[in-house]
Structure 1
Amino acid sequence: MTAPRTAPAPLPAAELTRLTDRLHHDGIVGLPQAFTRDWVRELGEDIDTAFAEARARPGGAVGRGPHRYYVEIHPEQLRGFTELAAHPWITAVAEAVLGPEYRIVEVGFDVPLPEAVDQPWHRDFPMPEETARDRRLTSLAVNVTAVDTEEDMGPFEIAPGTHWDDGSTFAHGMFPPREDYPRYRDLAVRKYPKMGDISIRSALTIHRGTANRSAKSRPVLVLGLDAPGAGNDERHDTAVTREFWESLPDAVRSHLRCPVVEKLRPITQKHTIEGLVMGEAES
């Protein structure tokens, strides 16, 4: 795959501090032009291939609301996995927030198709005890859009600062009561990333996909990162073949603690609760 750029420059210390401070304050930061458009075009091709394969078999794709799907894949299904996992902007933020021994626990993508509706406001999993007690983030999600996001394509909407919200009244620890929706609407910011842009966020920050009124899909890659012991790897089935494992640089292998197998098995999706509840769109 085409490299994201020639030797991507490390983040200056002051910029890294600014980003991590904002991440703790808002729950999300954007990093524009991390990759070239050519790199993203190939990413989009790989997503399209994996999406078609996943939808052709039972359990390959899980619904996240009408006309909206999530698919978890294995790292080697992406030609650009190494460039993604080793990008110095991503690794710098991950090390600063999660520690130098952070782990890659998830590779997947969301695809809102035409006619996808507004999702209910949600976080992606219940708040860990360490976060509630110590206000310490134990996981991050890196998002990479495969297209230029336009207003009618159902932009991602997020309520900054809500990653610290007490979720004790949330259904399944993830879905806030509807009486809280007006607050999230007041806080909400819609995101319009272009090909090459990435975001890094806490998946605890309350967010939703909005209605896709266009004739185009809006695929977005998800790279899930954990601090040691966070436990999100239990929700995922990441594996690599021995040949792929041996092709990875040590800097990537050190963060990819997953089974090394002779042959990959297609992943059956586990996000059953989200798949059921996501159909309850906001009226």
Structure 2
Amino acid sequence: MAWRHSPWVTARALGLGATAAVVVVSAVRLLRRRPPPRPAAAALPSDIARVATTAEVAAAVRAEGVCVVERVLDAAAVAALRERVAALEPRKRQNRRAKRWEHVHSPEAAAFAELAQHPSIAAAAKALLGPKHYLEKCGLVVSHPGATAQRWHMDTPHLFACREHLPPHSLSVFVPLCDLRPANGPTEFHLASHIKANLVRPPSRAAACCPAGSCVLYDPRVMHRGGANESEGERALVYLTLSRVWYRDTLNP
């Protein structure tokens, strides 16, 4: 409504009493001060790079913050990994959201230490972190049916307050023990958001759908979240965090 006169004059002209006129004037002033709603940033159509060689892994993680290498482990190896991990007692269990649990394991457990030495994973870690790195953390994340999506987050922040984009200090690896499909809530990423300058740009969002036994490799500074599990089965994945020898994650012990 456009007011030709002041709100007070208009309210009194409509026959409103003094109290009602004060209410009208206050409401109009509030509406005038309120900024227009900001349009939601539309997610741009995109996809996570599917790569094969170590050079392609390194290039994709540096540029987009994440990539997928499909079917690194075959079905028999996935089944064996599932059994070995299930037989271990975790150091602790952490509730990451309703119906979403993280089982934190020791990096010295053979099942995880051997997985970190898989040629595809070891070569990618060396290319991105250099020869002096170690398996800092590992575990299992289970998203049960009905789990809601996580909030968007980084696993670890940028380490130094400088404008230059620095190489990664860690590399995160997910190995799903089941097929990751839209229904069971695969991890979603804002591509290239590990670069500070890109955090102010409209997000380019993509979900890491892939077969069981694939590797999802990402820079822990990239914005991501676990999706909502709307399927009837649990979504389980093994994770590894490999870090440069001088780095320790004290925010997520």
Q: TM-score, normalised by structure 1?
A: 0.64
Alignment match, 1:39: 77
SS of 1:44's equivalent in the other structure is helix
Query: Given the superposition, is the C-alpha separation of residues 110 and 213 from structure 1 closer, same or farther in structure 2, using an over 3 Å criterion?
Result: same
Query: Given the superposition, is the C-alpha separation of residues 106 and 118 from structure 1 closer, same or farther in structure 2, using an over 3 Å criterion?
Result: same
Matched, 1:97 2:124: no
Alignment match, 1:23: 61
Residue 118 of structure 1 and its aligned partner are, at CA, apart by 1.1
> Which one-letter code corresponds to 1:99 in the other structure?
G
Instruction: Provide, for residues 60-92 of structure 1, a one-character-per-residue CA deviation record: whole Å limited to 9, x for no partner.
Output: 21111111111210245454642x122121111
The answer to whether the 8 Å contact 1:130/1:136 transfers is no
Alignment match, 1:239: none
The answer to whether the 8 Å contact 1:145/1:196 transfers is yes
Residue 16 of structure 1 and its aligned partner are, at CA, apart by 2.7
Q: TM-score, normalised by structure 2?
A: 0.71
The answer to whether the 8 Å contact 2:113/2:135 transfers is no
Q: Which moved more, 1:98-107 or 1:132-141?
A: 132-141
Alignment match, 2:5: none
SS of 2:78's equivalent in the other structure is helix
Segments of 5+ residues of structure 1 without an aligned counterpart are 1-13, 168-175, 237-269, 271-283
The answer to whether the 8 Å contact 2:68/2:208 transfers is no
Segments of 5+ residues of structure 2 without an aligned counterpart are 1-51
Q: More relative contact order in 1 or in 2 (CA 8 Å, sep 6+)?
A: 1
Higher strand share: 2
Higher Cα radius of gyration: 2
Question: Within 5 A, what are the aligned runs for 1:2-17?
Answer: 15-17=53-55
Corresponding residue pairs, total: 202
Q: Using the alignment, how far apart are the partners of 1:130 and 1:87 within structure 2?
A: 35
Matched, 1:213 2:230: yes
Question: Within 5 A, what are the aligned runs for 1:173-192?
Answer: 183-184=202-203, 187-192=204-209
Alignment match, 1:141: 172
SS of 1:129's equivalent in the other structure is coil
Identity of aligned residues (%): 24
Alignment match, 2:8: none
Query: Given the superposition, is the C-alpha separation of residues 153 and 140 from structure 1 closer, same or farther in structure 2, using an over 3 Å criterion?
Result: same
Query: Given the superposition, is the C-alpha separation of residues 88 and 73 from structure 1 closer, same or farther in structure 2, using an over 3 Å criterion?
Result: same
Residue 132 of structure 1 and its aligned partner are, at CA, apart by 5.9
RMSD after superposition: 2.7
SS of 1:61's equivalent in the other structure is strand
> Which one-letter code corresponds to 1:73 in the other structure?
H
Residue 15 of structure 1 and its aligned partner are, at CA, apart by 3.4
The answer to whether the 8 Å contact 2:155/2:221 transfers is yes
Instruction: Provide, for residues 191-242 of structure 1, a one-character-per-residue CA deviation record: whole Å limited to 9, x for no partner.
Output: 112122112111111011111111211111111111121222x567xxxxxx
Q: Using the alignment, how far apart are the partners of 1:49 and 1:166 within structure 2?
A: 44
Instruction: Provide, for residues 167-200 of structure 1, a one-character-per-residue CA deviation record: whole Å limited to 9, x for no partner.
Output: 9xxxxxxxx9xxx8x944xx11111121221121
Alignment match, 1:258: none
> Which one-letter code corresponds to 1:217 in the other structure?
E
Alignment match, 1:129: 160
Alignment match, 1:231: 248
Alignment match, 1:63: 95
Q: Which moved more, 1:59-68 or 1:142-151?
A: 59-68
Query: Given the superposition, is the C-alpha separation of residues 24 and 42 from structure 1 closer, same or farther in structure 2, using an over 3 Å criterion?
Result: same
Query: Given the superposition, is the C-alpha separation of residues 99 and 130 from structure 1 closer, same or farther in structure 2, using an over 3 Å criterion?
Result: farther
